[in-house]
Amino acid sequence: MDTEKFHGLLLDNLNAAVLLLDEQLSITYVNSAAESLLQIGSSRLLGSHIYILFNDAESCKKTLEEAIRSGNPHTRRHEQLRILAFNDISQVDYTVTPMEVLGKRALLLEVQPIDRFIKINREEALLSVHDTSKSLIRGLAHEIKNPLGGIRGAAQLLEQEIIERGLGDEPREFCQIITTETDRLRNLVDRLLGPNQIPQYAPINVHEVTEHVANLLQAEVQGALAISRDYDPSIPILSGDRAQLIQAVLNVARNAMQALLESTVIDPRVIFKSRIQRSFTIAGKRHRVVCRIDIIDNGPGILDNIAEQIFFPMISGRSDGSGLGLTIAQTAINAHEGIIECDSEPGHTRFSIYLPIRDDYEQ
């Protein structure tokens, strides 16, 4: 292997995003991590001015020009980098180092996405708490369902005794109330446990899932809110359990729908969006490529006092909500080795579902 290929191989296997800029601040080289961070291929980046990708383009341009002029390295922290593919912002630290390439002045730009590290730590904590709560719920469910079965059986025997002795309808109604409420409690416990079946994996088009859910919502709302799609048709076939994925996406989307219908938002809207995202870490495992499904609404947003606990059982922002929909959705997505994230502010709430794509996928 020649030196140039060897250096290229080393750079492409770095986790840090590395870009090379010429004297005019145009991009002349990007490694794989930079493509993943920016969600843009090198063919579209080469020749572009790097500073236009930053939210404060003028400040970035001045920093880079000063580095070229002075020959001194510069480091900037907590800068906002625009991720055009998702119409999103990523917080980054970057270091620019002047150097000489083939006799010409150049800049080496190293970019580290700090918000992703924060999210990874938050995800690991969330998954740990989620696993702990599932274990506690399983134990609690076992302790609850056993006496419930005894209560239900006793109520049925008592009802039979009342019938045989001809004691009238009122005592029978009491027995039936006991049976009905016992069944309701058992169903609640079953819902707390979430999907209890191992996913039945099969090839699936993720847009079949989102379209199924979008059509269900359209039938429910009858034009009370707008539902739009923004799909990436290049997303390949995934391996997943269709029923569980539909349930997960439906639970998230129905929360958005209910929040909008109960609000006074003008022109309420839910958007289903899909994209490919590269170099993404879930539960400590780095995936080269994942599918990202966004469910976005322009509702009032999630209350600050529950924003960090929305995936926990029995936590709901609605007075009549069960607080189980997002817990069940997260359990189903976790079973597919994925995760759900949420970013919310008044006027823009986005739930993002990340599902790994097979390693042999190449765009």
pLDDT at 1: 53
Average pLDDT of every residue of the chain: 81
Task: Answer whether residue 5 shows pLDDT above 80.
Answer: no
Q: How confident is the model at residue 363 (pLDDT cuts 50, 70, 90)?
A: very low
Cβ atoms 319, 306 nearer than 8 A: no
pLDDT at 126: 65
Cβ atoms 89, 343 nearer than 8 A: no
Q: How confident is the model at residue 101 (pLDDT cuts 50, 70, 90)?
A: confident
pLDDT at 344: 86
- pTM for the model: 0.62
Of 170, 239, 199, the closest CA to residue 332 belongs to 199
Q: DSSP letters of 31-88?
A: -HHHHHHHT--HHHHTTSBGGGGBSSHHHHHHHHHHHHHH---EEEEEEEEEEGGGTE
The tokens for 64 are 């880079």
Q: How far apart are the first and last CA of the chain?
A: 26
Cβ atoms 32, 289 nearer than 8 A: no
The tokens for 209 are 């899932």
Task: Answer whether residue 360 shows pLDDT above 60.
Answer: no
Q: To which H or E segment does residue 222 belong?
A: none
The tokens for 160 are 């039979």
Percent pLDDT > 70 in the chain is 79
pLDDT digits (tens, 9 = 90+) for 51-81: 888 888 898 899 998 998 898 998 888 888 8
Give the single-character DSSP code of 324: -
Q: How confident is the model at residue 124 (pLDDT cuts 50, 70, 90)?
A: low
* Sequence-separated (6 or more) residues with CB below 8 Å from residue 8: none
The tokens for 34 are 């930079």
Residues paired with residue 349 on neighbouring β-strands, in sequence order = 297, 344
Greater confidence (30 vs 194) lies with 30
Least confident of 15-19, 44-48, 334-338: 15-19
Of 76, 90, 77, 80, the closest CA to residue 37 belongs to 90
User: What is the distance of C-alpha 101 from the center of its chain?
Assistant: 41
Of 155, 154, 147, the closest CA to residue 171 belongs to 155
Amino acid at 5: K
Q: How confident is the model at residue 361 (pLDDT cuts 50, 70, 90)?
A: very low
Task: Answer whether residue 91 shows pLDDT above 60.
Answer: yes
- Average the pLDDT over 282-289 and give the result: 79
What is d(CA 291, CA 199) in angstroms, rounded to the nearest whole number? 18
pLDDT digits (tens, 9 = 90+) for 246-283: 989 999 999 899 989 988 888 999 999 999 887 787 87
What is d(CA 274, CA 242) in angstroms, rounded to the nearest whole number? 17
pLDDT digits (tens, 9 = 90+) for 137-184: 666 666 777 788 888 888 888 888 888 887 777 888 888 888 888 888
The tokens for 53 are 């990708």
pLDDT at 362: 43
Task: Give the number of other Cβ atoms within 10 Å of residue 270's Cβ.
Answer: 25
pLDDT digits (tens, 9 = 90+) for 315-356: 555 555 555 678 788 888 888 889 888 888 889 999 999 999
Task: Answer whether residue 285 shows pLDDT above 70.
Answer: yes
Q: How confident is the model at residue 186 (pLDDT cuts 50, 70, 90)?
A: confident
Cβ atoms 274, 235 nearer than 8 A: yes
